[in-house]
Amino acid sequence: MTDEHASPDLRIVRGSANEEELAALIAVVSDTYEREAAAAVAETPRISAWQRTQRPMRAPLRRDIPWGRFSG
């Protein structure tokens, strides 16, 4: 949902529910969703000792510069 105050879309498939029961259902589902969303935390990526000690690859060779930086 893009809007925080958007009305929920509920369909009663079987039986009949009065307004109080629907209000209780919406309250329970909303509270459960808010608790789950608050508890959901992305784990920070763990960097291993191997990753810490790796050096970056060297820059590629430049082919526009002659070997030894001189020509002749």
pLDDT in tens, 25-72: 889 988 988 888 888 887 888 888 877 777 777 777 778 877 766 655
pLDDT the model gives residue 1: 46
**Cα(51)–Cα(48) distance, integer angstroms:** 5
**Cα(5)–Cα(26) distance, integer angstroms:** 13
> Given pLDDT bands bounded at 50, 70 and 90, which one contains residue 20?
very high
Q: Which amino acid is at 3?
A: D
Given a cut of 80, whether residue 24 has pLDDT beyond it is yes
pTM to 2 decimals? 0.43
Residue 66 CA, chain-centre distance (Å), reads 48
Q: What is the mean pLDDT of residues 12-32?
A: 87
